[in-house]
Structure 1
């Protein structure tokens, strides 16, 4: 491991252009449940069936309740040392670009420079109007975004007492360990567009069946297809085994890049595998990234205050 860190650090020091592909493993140490692993509130629902335009048309209240839960959990979480390390690398390295598949907003809260962070699946905190005649896009960090979407956390609240049934230890009440009968939410209870005052707002994430954002894809393609070579591509917290991430690894390799994978399981290699001169760092990204990037970014400490 130490020899791998040394050889990686030496290559990092000499690298001019660096690309990073980021997945859910980056946020694992922040305590966020995975998309398909949402807590007790959603154990009876198939998350993938809620993340579609059809589901929103059919029951926007239910879909907004699911995303309100995810927004709440993301805001409770804190960026970990891996988020902070990548943000520092982005600030210190002029030719660095990160493509994130995460929607949790933790990279942004770690102050990752916006121009060096592309969001493949959007963000939980982006919202847009569903009216065909309105082009509103904005950001909203209000929790909950509408009063009717409040997550019933407080067992003493008479409006939620009957709905909430916790596990044995009621002293450590946590929404991820609660089983809640969801209240009915009508369309009138949901957030309206502040611009047109008519269309419903929806989460600004890419749902199943929707196209990935062309602006993001074009930015990454432009970085890869630049006339200069790419020295390094880091694959962090994702297997990079599906399009477009898998293609980016191969494209970067064709431009001369060596590959460094930071993942919790050795099985999570890129689809094209690894060469002898690539690196695989197995374990928690929050522990590994600050260590292997230290030669360029210095020491990274977890802040004591909430970001």
Structure 2
């Protein structure tokens, strides 16, 4: 009874009922996913990296120019993020969305997350577009080389990056035991070209994380796929906006485009002030709270009750390649 009451307070019955009635009728559904989707998986936000990284501005590390100046520093930051993401598990919201994709072939999810949790929840790849790339893709940084490797889950990707990435993880201290990573003043080791991952195709360029850095274009193949979905002559019935304020373009534009195609908007967010740039309409739904709790409840009428044992087993499986 307690869990039922908790669910009903998080998802008011009248709003839940009207949403599920619309969901049942919907054939073409879009979802825009942000960092709030992964919050219950325990991942620090992009700007919330801890340990040695507390004294660094993450935005200043996420640029091609930063990689050109100090690829060792940038790779250590991204090795930290890869390590943290690999030690997190997809939560029930990731699994619920993956199951919705299996139930509704007209469902397409657009993720702004690079953490790899949606793919590890076995979200069908054809129905998941990674707008900002993935921590687990790597590509050659040489302008003339087109080498890309998908789903590289090696941690660390090269031995020199086995740095103290997490003060709570004793295993991460093995390579540099002398560093006290609870001390913000400790310098991050300097790594040279020789320490970093090389491109196996051209044998001269450094590999770099396959994420979209500030100042870079979003991947054209992904944008083309989204455009194909948007430009279909068929209406869009519903857009889910989960864990994102949807105020940054081009992602914010997808909400307006979906509305223009007839979509109703359902927002799931911890912060009631996080609404799309175009604001809320009378027919929209806003569900305030943890996506990991709310999303499975919203989708239950289509996907059924999530079996948490199956979810935990799936999370333990090797990442999908």
TM-score, with structure 2 as normaliser: 0.89
Counterpart among 186, 193, 200 of residue 192 in structure 2: 186
1:210 partnered with 2:240: no
| Counterparts in 2 of 1:155 and 1:112: CA distance versus 1, 3 Å | closer
Residue deviations 1:29-85 (CA, integer Å, cap 9, x gap): 000000001112201100000000000010000000000000000000000000000
Alpha-carbon contact 2:51-2:181 (below 8 Å) kept: no
Which whole-Å CA distance do the structure 2 matches of 1:189 and 1:291 have between them? Answer: 47
After superposition, residues 73-92 of structure 1 pair within 5 angstroms as: 73-92=84-103
Q: Counterpart of 2:159?
A: 147
User: Is 2:167 aligned against 1:161?
Assistant: no
Separation of aligned partners in 1, 2:173 and 2:110: 42
Residues 164 and 179, structure 1, Cα contact 8 Å, conserved in 2: no
Match of 1:28 in 2: 39
- Corresponding residue for 2:7? none
Q: Does the 8 Å contact 2:52/2:182 carry over to 1?
A: no
The 5 A counterparts of 1:164-175 are 164-166=180-182
Partner-residue secondary structure (3-state), 2:170: coil
State the alpha-carbon separation in 1 of the partners of residues 197 and 116 from structure 2: 20
Structure 1 stretch 197-206 or stretch 212-221: which is displaced more? 212-221
Change (3 A) 1:271 1:106: same
Task: From the superposition, tell whether residues 158 and 52 of structure 1 become closer, same or farther in structure 2 (CA, over 3 Å).
Answer: closer
Query: 1:108, CA displacement in angstroms?
Result: 0.2
Asked if 2 retains the 8 angstrom alpha-carbon contact of 1:237 and 1:264, the reply is yes
SS in 2 for 1:293: helix
Alignment of 1:53-92 (within 5 A): 53-92=64-103
Tell me the SS of whatever aligns to 1:211: coil
Instruction: Give the whole-Å Cα distance in 2 for the aligned partners of 1:147 and 1:45.
Output: 23
Root-mean-square deviation (Å): 1.7
TM-score where L is the length of structure 1:
0.93
Say if 1:104 and 1:124, in contact at 8 Å, map to a contact too.
yes
Q: CA deviation at 1:8?
A: 0.3
Residue 283 in structure 1 maps to residue 289 in structure 2: yes
The alpha-carbon distance between structure 1 residues 300 and 185, as it changes in their structure 2 partners (threshold 3 A), is same
Helix, strand or coil for the counterpart of 2:55? coil
> What is the alpha-carbon distance in structure 2 between the residues aligned to residue 33 and residue 2 of structure 1?
32
1:95-134 counterparts in 2 under 5 A? 95-134=106-145
Q: Comparing 157-166 with 9-18, which one deviates more in the overlay? A: 157-166
Structure 2 spans left out of the alignment, 5+ residues: 1-11
Tell me the matched-pair count. 297
